[in-house]
Structure 1
Amino acid sequence: MNIFKELLEKQKAIILDGALGTQVQKNGYDVNDSLWSAKFLDENPEVIKEVHRQYLEAGADCIITSSYQASIEGFLEKGFSEEKAVDLIKLSINIAKEERDIFWANLEDKNKRIKPLVAASIGPYGAYLADGSEYTGDYGIGDEELKQFHKKRLEIILETSPDLLAIETIPILKEVKIICELLKELKKIPTWVTFSAKNESTTNGGDDIKECMKFLENQDCVSAVGINCTAPQYIPKLIENIKSVSSKPIVVYPNGGSKYNPILKVWEKGEISALEYSKLSLLWFQKGAKIIGGCCETSPEEILNIRERLL
């Protein structure tokens, strides 16, 4: 049975965590680096663990790992050996599982929670480039190179046995098609796929969201579908568009309303308040999304408010 449908029989919504990289910043650390928050996997893993704890304590039913920007190529360019790069990618999953297990073991009242899941983040190729192309899909490489990039990382991450895969912030359908072909060849594991969108009907790379969801509807390797790292105002209509062509559980975790500046590598302010964000989450739920959290510029406060409002 679809793991998300199974959990949604136990509670009416699944609450995701919020931003990792921008929460690391809010906790006082500098993430202005091509590895983004993944640099702390080597420098100070406790920085990542702290964020996972914050979201678990805020009520997240699922925490997403710091592997979004972690790749063999990215670590090699920073001077790490390939062996060390593999170890750091695996660490991103293992520390999340460790923090989840510690949290769950120490939680006194387990009747009001489902045991939190660990979703291994699989970001787009553009996240490795760290040049803003993750928001355009204009990578300048061929399909085979793109396939090998994702294959290596997927194989490494699957060795750590996360609960599920979060194929996230993907700007173009072509990249998702390549990833889905790989998923069919690799170890079977629950997976969601979320695109980033620039408006109510189009991905950041210019693909029609309905066409993307029609494709995913026929992919048995994909358990849930949706949108992340997208301005909140576009989410209601995007959910409607997804529902019109898809029967799979819908995942949404928008950003806080800011816009990313790829030159300065910062989010330019424009976020809404945590309370307003949670009010919007109720609208998303009513529209049909059942797996809901936050992306860049959101925090544990948003997740706490979403949980209180939806559950």
Structure 2
Amino acid sequence: MDFLAFETLPSFAEAEALLALSREHGVDTWFSFSLRDGGHISDGTPLADVAQRVNGHPHVAAVGVNCVPLGLVRPALAALRPHTDIPLVAYPNSGETYDSATKTWSQASGDEGGAAGGGAPASLAAGAGEWQQAGARILGGCCRTTPRDIAALAAQA
């Protein structure tokens, strides 16, 4: 089955419009969102509200997060899971941090993303097991991930 990925969505209003279009055109989709923190998409909408809205929609096969720090994945999945029974997706960034002032990437210092209870995993592969336990069925990588990162993720998943 083919899917159209609506990804890196920062806004609930955008998601609502895309839901309407997917229904109108009968297109199977998945939705992934950028985050403000582990419980809210970028515009401040709670992930619980997002999950409740897409749950049961006939053309949404999965929902989750992408283009986010490694440390936000676990809390985001935990916020989504109680409110939907569809598969969850997670494809975070590499773990590096982007500095918009200098327009450079640097290695993360350990707890970027504000993950509760221990900080961010060191890599995609290191987080795979806990993300799967939290309900993620589709895993991948976004900004600054490499073929090596994806191969290590595949070996763990």
Normalising by the smaller structure, the TM-score range is 0.7 to 0.9
After TM superposition, give the deviation of residue 257 of structure 1 in Å.
2.4
After TM superposition, give the deviation of residue 278 of structure 1 in Å.
0.3
Partner residue in 1 for 2:106: 269
After TM superposition, give the deviation of residue 262 of structure 1 in Å.
5.0
Provide runs of 4+ in structure 1 moved above 2 Å: 257-264
After TM superposition, give the deviation of residue 293 of structure 1 in Å.
0.5
Could you tell which deviates more after superposition, 254-263 or 195-204?
Answer: 254-263
Residues 251-290 of structure 1: matches in 2 within 5 Å?
251-261=89-99, 266-271=103-108, 276-290=123-137
After TM superposition, give the deviation of residue 179 of structure 1 in Å.
0.9
Q: Which has the larger radius of gyration?
A: 1
- Counterpart residue type for residue 281 of structure 1: A
User: More strand by proportion, 1 or 2?
Assistant: 2
Aligned-residue Cα RMSD (Å) equals: 2.1
The answer to whether the 8 A contact 1:226-1:251 is kept is yes
Partner residue in 2 for 1:303: 150
How many residues matched?
A: 146
Unaligned runs of 5+ in 2: 111-121
The answer to whether the 8 A contact 1:256-1:270 is kept is no
Partner residue in 1 for 2:79: 241
Distance 1:267 1:286, change over 3 A: farther
Q: Does 1:181 align with 2:28?
A: no
Q: Does 1:228 align with 2:66?
A: yes
Q: What TM-score does the superposition give when structure 2 sets the normalisation length?
A: 0.84
Provide the secondary structure at the position in 1 that maps to 2:35: coil
User: More helix by proportion, 1 or 2?
Assistant: 1
Provide the secondary structure at the position in 2 that maps to 1:185: helix
CA distance in 1, matches of 2:48, 2:12: 11
Q: What TM-score does the superposition give when structure 1 sets the normalisation length?
A: 0.44
Distance 1:269 1:287, change over 3 A: same
CA distance in 2, matches of 1:176, 1:170: 7
User: Percent identity of the aligned residues?
Assistant: 27
After TM superposition, give the deviation of residue 221 of structure 1 in Å.
1.6
After TM superposition, give the deviation of residue 184 of structure 1 in Å.
1.4
The answer to whether the 8 A contact 1:166-1:192 is kept is yes
